[in-house]
């Protein structure tokens, strides 16, 4: 089957740094490149930022909107403009496009996730290039992706992409922010996320004028995507034509190799898509049983509970210090767990007055976090 590509372009590449107006030549080259890739048989998804940046420019605002309501209003202005420009450019090349606006809430329900998956498959089958953005105008804080780097990684995983390209305003990843550290060393290849520690990569907190996440969210995106088996590249948005060269094997930008044993789709969904609503603290024995011996979580190992959650919600599973060691779906609500924590499973029917599940989190619904590196397995 033909390869699937997800390309994410940030505000810093779509707009001119000095004026804040659209970077028309970049956009035109991007559109030409993506259309050529379609002709070559690739399935293409574009994740485009820019709603806030373009809306701000359209309204003549000189500052980044600060309040949520203003940001959502500005995004509503900009998203329409942006799609108008894309549609004009792609239509000149006879390439149909579609607008897909998502919030995290759309993916949190397993059936919502499958629904979005089916829509993407249908669009790609029709030869359409879906253009995805966060639905900024309606997204509420709790159900936000927050930045399009994360969104693009989740989309890449959802559509089972072969490649994720993160187009930004630096040519690749450096050992430190090149804006602040002139001695920062370029990094071309990351074969495993462990290497980021070895290279001691620093991401500072700087980002381009209108960008949202900076480099840290791109690394997190690479972690999510490579964990799902998607090869990820950070490269410069100013030269979209480089995508073709990279696909032909040229070493441009920073490439992150996909994990050899990607986590399965359900575990990926638990680790990266669901929003945890509570925290369970475990004693040392339970930490070991879960992280080293692949066991399910039993009530006996739980020492403390935080948050409000109900059956089948996602919770963070932590050691006594609160360091997250795993994430999973609980078989009990908060009230029930308060009563049975620390107890042997045999005692559960007597305490609750009914036969509950033997495990608090079954190992099929549990993902383990590799300490230090942060990968899920």
Ligand X SMILES: N[C@@H](CCC(=O)OP(=O)(O)O)C(=O)O
- Which residues are documented as binding site for ATP? 8, 168-169, 212-218
Residue 64 has φ and ψ, to the nearest 5°, of -65, 125
Site string (337-376) toward ligand X, x via CB under 6 A: ----------------------------------------
Closer residue to ligand X in complex, CB, 207/231:
207
**Binding test (CB under 6 A) with ligand X, winner from 22, 51, 97, 360:** 51
Tokens 């993407």 belong to 120
Smallest gap, in angstroms, from Cβ of residue 207 to ligand X?
7
Q: Which does 173 bind (CB under 5 to 8 A by kind): ligand ADP, ligand X, none?
A: ligand ADP
Angstrom distance (rounded) from CA 198 to CA 288 = 26
10 binds ligand X (CB under 6 A): yes
Residues that bind ligand ADP (CB under 6 A): 10-13, 168-170, 173-174, 176-179, 201-204, 206-208, 211-215
- Burial string for 259-286 (b: 16+ CB within 10 Å, else e) reads beebbeeebbbbbbbbebbbbbbbbeeb
Closer residue to ligand ADP in complex, CB, 121/195:
195
177 binds ligand X (CB under 6 A): no
Q: Which of residues 241-260 bind ligand X (CB under 6 A)?
A: none
Rg over alpha carbons for the chain, rounded to the nearest Å, is 22
50 binds ligand X (CB under 6 A): yes
4-9 and 163-168 beta bridge pairing: parallel
Angstrom distance (rounded) from CA 302 to CA 289 = 12
Q: Which does 52 bind (CB under 5 to 8 A by kind): ligand X, ligand ADP, none?
A: ligand X
Stretch touching ligand X by CB under 6 A, among 49-57, 251-259, 293-301, 311-319: 49-57
Smallest gap, in angstroms, from Cβ of residue 46 to ligand ADP?
14
Angstrom distance (rounded) from CA 136 to CA 146 = 9
Q: Which does 58 bind (CB under 5 to 8 A by kind): ligand ADP, ligand X, none?
A: none
Q: How many chain residues are in contact with ligand X, going by CB under 6 A?
A: 17
Closer residue to ligand X in complex, CB, 145/309:
145
Smallest gap, in angstroms, from Cβ of residue 206 to ligand ADP?
5
Which residues bind to ligand X, rule: CB under 6 A?
10-12, 49-53, 75, 133-134, 136, 147-148, 211-213
């Amino acid at each position: 089957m033909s390869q699937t590509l997800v390309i994410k372009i940030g505000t810093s590449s779509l707009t001119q740094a000095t004026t804040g107006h659209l970077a028309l030549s970049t956009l035109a080259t991007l559109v030409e490149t993506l259309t050529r890739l379609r002709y070559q048989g690739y399935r293409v998804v574009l994740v485009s930022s820019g709603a806030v940046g373009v809306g701000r420019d359209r309204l003549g605002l000189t500052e980044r909107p600060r309040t949520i309501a203003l940001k959502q209003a500005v995004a509503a202005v900009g998203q329409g403009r942006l799609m108008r420009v894309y549609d004009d450019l792609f239509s000149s090349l006879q390439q149909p496009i579609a607008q897909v606006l998502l919030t995290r809430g759309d993916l949190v329900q397993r059936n919502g996730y499958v629904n979005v998956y089916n829509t993407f498959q249908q669009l790609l089958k029709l030869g359409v290039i879906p253009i995805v953005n966060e639905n900024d105008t309606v997204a509420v804080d709790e159900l936000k992706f927050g930045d399009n780097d994360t969104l693009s990684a989740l989309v890449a995983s959802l559509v089972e992409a072969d490649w994720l390209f993160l187009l930004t305003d630096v040519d690749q990843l450096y050992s430190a922010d090149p804006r602040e550290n002139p001695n920062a060393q370029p990094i071309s290849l990351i074969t495993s996320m462990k290497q980021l520690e070895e290279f001691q990569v620093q991401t500072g907190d700087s980002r381009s004028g209108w960008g949202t996440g900076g480099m840290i969210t791109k690394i997190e995106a690479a972690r999510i995507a490579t964990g799902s088996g998607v090869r990820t590249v950070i490269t410069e948005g100013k030269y979209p034509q480089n995508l073709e060269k990279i696909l032909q094997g040229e070493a441009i930008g920073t490439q992150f190799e996909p994990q050899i044993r990607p986590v399965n789709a359900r575990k990926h969904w638990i680790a990266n898509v669901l929003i945890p609503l509570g925290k369970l603290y475990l004693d040392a024995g339970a930490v070991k049983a879960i992280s080293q011996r692949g066991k399910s979580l039993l009530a006996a190992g739980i020492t403390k509970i935080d948050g409000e959650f109900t059956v089948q919600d996602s919770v963070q599973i932590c050691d006594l210090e609160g360091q997250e060691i795993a994430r999973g779906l609980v078989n009990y609500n908060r009230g029930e767990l308060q009563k049975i924590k620390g107890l042997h499973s045999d005692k559960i029917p007597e305490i609750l007055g009914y036969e509950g599940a033997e495990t608090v989190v079954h190992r099929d619904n549990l993902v383990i976090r590799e300490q230090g590196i942060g990968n899920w397995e």
